[in-house]
Structure 1
Amino acid sequence: MLLSLTDRKVLVTGGASGIGRACVEAFRAEGARVVALDRAGGADVVRADVTDESSLAAGVAEAVALLGGLDVVVGCAGISGPVGTPLVETSAADLAAVIAVNVTGQLLLAKHTYPHLSDGGSIVFLASDSAFVSVPGMVPYCASKGAVVSLTRALAVEFDRVRVNCVCPSIVDTPMARGDLGDEALDDAAFPVQTAEEVARQVLFLATPLSRAVNGQALLADFGYSARSAFPA
């Protein structure tokens, strides 16, 4: 296949729905062998909680046993937290929950998968354009996604056998986004909206030899919005 993913061994967290599910299906369509991890579990999903180290370690071990190793790891598990709530009204428990899933979960994923990754393998995290831009009521989420960009760069330096990158999409039509914004906001959006399948293709690129020279980078996919000046022209 063009993307050279035939028989590659892939693990995807958050693989039961949304972008994670789209990644599972996209890798399989390219001939890869995929194990999905998700705290929801499912018919073809290994149950694992990325915030619980013993649960995640067990899920990774099961995936490694099923696949016989790992070539690609995709960290899609994430939550949005209390979107629209000012920081001064956000509980410590809600703050901790966002950090636990979006940051600690990715760190634990890297910790437990790196020893099993083949030389030249790839880790791709799902971050967000919210690592670079924001609106009121998004502080915890933005902070967590900014941390993912930073840990991507740090791991790319420390993990010398594999590449580590992240994808930073703007609004994506997923069950989580619809839960936060409502169906009407996405069905009749006044702003560009990506599909989960489009984001999955960005992930595939970073996971393949086609991006061999790309390491420690955040792929910002936001239709160019963050490049716009406030200059009135």
Structure 2
Amino acid sequence: MRLDLAGKAVLVTGAASGIGSACARAFLAEGARVGLIDRSPIPPLVGDFTDEPVRQFGGLDGEVVAVQADVTDEQALASAVDTVAQRFGRLDVVVGCAGISGPVGTPVAETTAEDFATVLAVNVTGQFLLVKHCLPWLAPGASVVFLASDSAFVCAPGMAPYCASKGALVTLTKALAVELDGVRVNCVCPSVVDTPMSRGDLGDALDDPEFPVQATDDVAQHVLYLASARSRTVNGQAVLADFGVSARSGFPA
């Protein structure tokens, strides 16, 4: 399927690793121009962007802009968005991958208000701020894709802040889709993905998992589709990618 993403101006947050990095590579492979934002240093890129508009990221040639910024710092995020958008002249696609898991495995009684607020600040407010500051740069027909989670629909003990944040992000997706004229807003909701963050939370459980685990590239392909004109009729939707686990009834049959 042709996605016709060549030459599109794309911005990806959380691009230093995991799903964000996979999305950046996938867009570059399609010939898009990609802006990278992360609070952590972006892995070294080949070339001096000021002198060489063609650089490399993840072994792929392409036009890349990398800016270090925290999505919870509105001023820094706004500046980073402007840096990317000014270089490209517009934004056709915005991908919000920045996210944290918070205190996984911590009972509610032991979860602090600060921990809860920190998770929402990154996973929800950070996404809101991203769209807010991208708005002046969004081209007609632009697409916004958030990374939510199956935890917006199914929950595990010890993950109340994370589950609440992803549920809020799904609803934020719908709210923005309704409010923004000419801009599509959708989110991808994967189950467990093999990322550094997941390995930090689950440890050795990902080495020989007793549950289905997907790769970051699997998620990136969903993002590419939602970013492309091939999904022009899809708006305000949460694409649940969980191997069908949530479709199974608990009825003993």
- TM > 0.5: yes
Aligned position for 2:208: 188
Aligned position for 2:144: 123
In the TM superposition, residue 176 of structure 1 has moved relative to its aligned partner by 0.1
Aligned position for 1:175: 196
The separation in 2 between residues aligned to 1:41 and 1:2, in whole angstroms, is 33
Of 126, 140, 148, 2:169 maps to 148
Alignment RMSD: 0.9
Matching of residues 154-169 of structure 1 within 5 Å: 154-169=175-190
Of 153, 164, 169, 1:132 maps to 153
For structure 2, list consecutive stretches of 5 or more residues without a partner in the other structure.
46-65
The separation in 2 between residues aligned to 1:25 and 1:73, in whole angstroms, is 14
Asked if 1:15 corresponds to 2:15, the answer is yes
> For 1:204, what is the secondary structure of its paired residue?
helix
- Residue-by-residue CA offset, 1:125-150 (whole Å, 9 max, x unaligned): 00000000011001000000000000
Misfit runs of 4+, over 4 Å: none
Give me the TM-score of the superposition, normalised by structure 1.
Answer: 0.98
Tell which deviates more after alignment, 40-49 or 116-125: 40-49
In the TM superposition, residue 96 of structure 1 has moved relative to its aligned partner by 1.1
In the TM superposition, residue 100 of structure 1 has moved relative to its aligned partner by 0.5
Asked if 1:227 corresponds to 2:213, the answer is no
The separation in 1 between residues aligned to 2:135 and 2:148, in whole angstroms, is 19
Give me the TM-score of the superposition, normalised by structure 2.
Answer: 0.90
The separation in 2 between residues aligned to 1:120 and 1:65, in whole angstroms, is 19
The separation in 2 between residues aligned to 1:220 and 1:114, in whole angstroms, is 26
The separation in 2 between residues aligned to 1:165 and 1:99, in whole angstroms, is 19
Q: Which amino acid counterpart does residue 201 of structure 1 have in structure 2?
A: Q
Matched pairs, number: 232
Aligned position for 1:30: 30
Q: Which amino acid counterpart does residue 81 of structure 2 have in structure 1?
A: V
- Residue-by-residue CA offset, 1:171-212 (whole Å, 9 max, x unaligned): 000000000000x21110011100001100000010001100
For structure 1, list consecutive stretches of 5 or more residues without a partner in the other structure.
none
Of 127, 136, 160, 1:106 maps to 127
In the TM superposition, residue 41 of structure 1 has moved relative to its aligned partner by 2.5
Q: Which amino acid counterpart does residue 22 of structure 2 have in structure 1?
A: A
The separation in 2 between residues aligned to 1:15 and 1:38, in whole angstroms, is 6
> For 1:213, what is the secondary structure of its paired residue?
coil
Aligned position for 1:90: 111
> For 2:145, what is the secondary structure of its paired residue?
strand
Asked if 1:6 corresponds to 2:27, the answer is no
> For 1:122, what is the secondary structure of its paired residue?
strand
Tell which deviates more after alignment, 42-51 or 127-136: 42-51
In the TM superposition, residue 85 of structure 1 has moved relative to its aligned partner by 0.1
